[in-house]
Amino acid sequence: MERQITKHLDKKIFGIAIDAGSGLKKALKQARARDAKEDDLLTFKRSVISILGQSASTVLIDSTFGPDLIKHFPTNCSPMMAYEADVYHISDKDRITQLPENINISDFSKLGYKVLKFFMYYAPNDDKKINKKKESIIEKIGKDCVDNNISFLMEPLVYDPFKKPGSLDYAFLKPKLVERATKVFSNPKFNVDILKVEVPVDLSFVEGFGDPIMKQSKAVKCFKDASDAAGDIPLVYLSAGVSFNWFKSSIKMAIEAKVDCSGFMCGRAVWSEAIKVFGDSGEDALIEWLNKVGLNRLNQLISLFEK
């Protein structure tokens, strides 16, 4: 069967991610305080899809809300759904992503989703048995995507079994970790159509942003080396919860490195402040903020690829 490539894969990918689950629900409940309602998470996600989807080429939603929110995607915006349970097991030794119980890959097309996103924590220097188990899961998902005519976006989130993220020791390791993970999942056996990858440097230790441990010229080279590992597979950058300005600077650095980048999938860097707006002033204020600030930020990122 010939693989169907959805329309947004044929051009630059300017994506918004709103697939956060229980963590976002908790943040909204705290922000809303006595005004909190059971459907606040649904309201927030629906607003992001309907407003930011006006400029985004795709919006990523979770499998819990995906079936109900498909009707709120603007016609120009291709729907994407995550194939993950809301259980991340960050503290577990193996950190294996749990699959959703409410949906199968065969359901994606029926619901109107032609792109599946799956993430896995992956440490290239971890126990080989753990990595083999993870790779087997991902290989199976890739095969099921082929069988069901679904495009597959894979997101390997790197870590080190011994070094703490945010530390200087981890910052030294991160470029190679991203490069090695990218190389692994570019293997054709995984049937990955797009790689959603991390920015390969920690800007907290890059000249001009934080402690000047790494020169910007070195950081630019790290972008190039990590992206080359993807081979012919398109890659997009994820924002990983950094501020909007830092994510924008990261994209600029990638462009300076002449990385063959197909775009971005941006979440909290665009909409995180909207949580407080919703909490303080309600749904109308949320919609106004998304229309003004949210769309402006998204369009700033898009404009970087048009120069």
Residue 40 to residue 36: CA distance in whole angstroms: 7
> Tokens for 258?
């002449």
> Tokens for 93?
């030794």
Span 10-21, pLDDT tens digits? 578 999 999 999
- Contacts of residue 272, defined as CB under 8 A and 6 or more positions apart, other chains included, come to 241
- What's at 269, amino acid-wise? A
- Contacts of residue 2, defined as CB under 8 A and 6 or more positions apart, other chains included, come to none
What SS3 state is found at 276?
A: helix
Residue 125 to residue 114: CA distance in whole angstroms: 33
Is the pLDDT reported for residue 208 higher than 70? yes
pLDDT computed for residue 10 by the predictor: 53
Residue 89 to residue 97: CA distance in whole angstroms: 7
DSSP code at position 210: S
Residue 77 to residue 15: CA distance in whole angstroms: 9
DSSP code at position 206: B
Is the pLDDT reported for residue 275 higher than 80? yes
pLDDT computed for residue 245 by the predictor: 94
pLDDT computed for residue 295 by the predictor: 98
Bridge partners of 58, per DSSP, are 15, 78
- Contacts of residue 109, defined as CB under 8 A and 6 or more positions apart, other chains included, come to 148, 149, 150
Q: What is the 3-state secondary structure (H, E, C) of 20-65?
A: CCHHHHHHHHHHHHHHCCCCHHHHHHHHHHHHHCCCCCEEEECCCC
Is the pLDDT reported for residue 194 higher than 50? yes
pLDDT computed for residue 281 by the predictor: 97
Contact 84, 48 (CB under 8 A): no
> Tokens for 67?
């079936």
Residue 61 to residue 40: CA distance in whole angstroms: 15
Q: What are phi and psi of 95, to 5 degrees?
A: 50, 50
DSSP code at position 214: B
pLDDT computed for residue 5 by the predictor: 43
pTM: 0.94
pLDDT computed for residue 88 by the predictor: 74
Instruction: Write down the mean pLDDT value for the chain.
Output: 93
Residue 142 to residue 118: CA distance in whole angstroms: 10
pLDDT computed for residue 286 by the predictor: 98
Q: What is the mean pLDDT of residues 141-167?
A: 95
pLDDT computed for residue 7 by the predictor: 41
Contact 250, 237 (CB under 8 A): yes
Q: What is the mean pLDDT of residues 272-293?
A: 98
pLDDT computed for residue 9 by the predictor: 52
Is the pLDDT reported for residue 120 higher than 80? yes
Contact 298, 266 (CB under 8 A): yes
All structural domains of the chain: 9-304 (3.20.20.70)
Is the pLDDT reported for residue 126 higher than 70? yes
Is the pLDDT reported for residue 298 higher than 80? yes
pLDDT computed for residue 263 by the predictor: 94
Contact 175, 201 (CB under 8 A): yes
Span 45-90, pLDDT tens digits? 999 999 999 999 999 999 999 999 999 999 999 999 999 998 777 7
pLDDT band at residue 306 under the 50/70/90 scheme: confident
36: left (phi over 0), alpha (psi -120 to 50) or beta: beta
Find tokens 């709103």 and name the residue. Answer: 18
